[in-house]
Amino acid sequence: MNLFGMYIERFTDYLKNERNYSAHTILAYTADVNQFIDCVKEECSIVDIKDITPSVIRVWMVAMKERGVSNRSIGRKIACLRTYFTFLYKEGLIPENPMLKIMAPKVGKRNPSYILNDDMEKILDEKSADGSFFGMRDYLILELVYATGMRQAELLELKECDIDYENQEIRVEGKGRKERIVPVNPTLLERLKIYIEKKKSLKTDTDYLFVNKRFEHMSKKQLYSLVCKELEKINVAKHSPHVLRHSFATNVLEQGGDLSAVKDILGHKSIETTQVYTHTTIEELKKAYKLAHPRSDE
């Protein structure tokens, strides 16, 4: 019997039923664990999960570095393995947890890329001039993420019934299937209403808000491609839906938004995660200080 395979199946059941992880997260965790297992089989001739020691895990970390995997990605994979081996240990499937002696590699601080408001307005102005159904769809995808900071996966899971026009809110299902409410401005809600009416007139068979050109539920790949194509038109270091999320948080905080409120809107567990977006505010303060303070050069 392939014990590795059997344990993976039990692990995915645990992530789904007990941790309430999303399908996307479960897929990513499964891929990381399978990659780890394949590597230690090849590098250390491991045949049983019980034979994995801290030394074996360090061999895997070295192999990842030699393959050009960044410290940030290795750190993410280590977080996944911590969850995996903690599960195995609690289930009595291994005698001890080898991850207890593993330290993730240090990662330098990285400021997230974000879009200047003027650049975003140019993209939205261009899209709003396109009166077609798919022009409306593209505009709403860009505007919704930029105006609410929701994740790509959260946007794709939105359904028509998640929109509350009366209270000017949208219900979002975040990580771990946790629901949260995000505020939406009346103008954007009116655009959504017009889009949905048009979508219904086209007799689509899905309740999901955003559809592809076959009028089926839009995929992650299709959404990613659409957003990247639009962001290529402006001067921004990275092109992805997540850049729009970064931009929402950065712009709100630059305008004096409350950090705790931004945390709740983004669906972060910890305020420390949200604080990464204060970097631009600090940079602006430094610039203002150098320009205005009489002793800034001393």
The catalytic residues are 151, 175, 242, 245, 268, 277
Contact 46, 57 (CB under 8 A): no
List the structure tokens of 215. Answer: 């009028």
* Residue 151 identity: R
**CA-only gyration radius of the chain, Å:** 23
Separation in Å, CA 298 to CA 1, 278, 283, 289, 293: 72, 26, 19, 12, 10
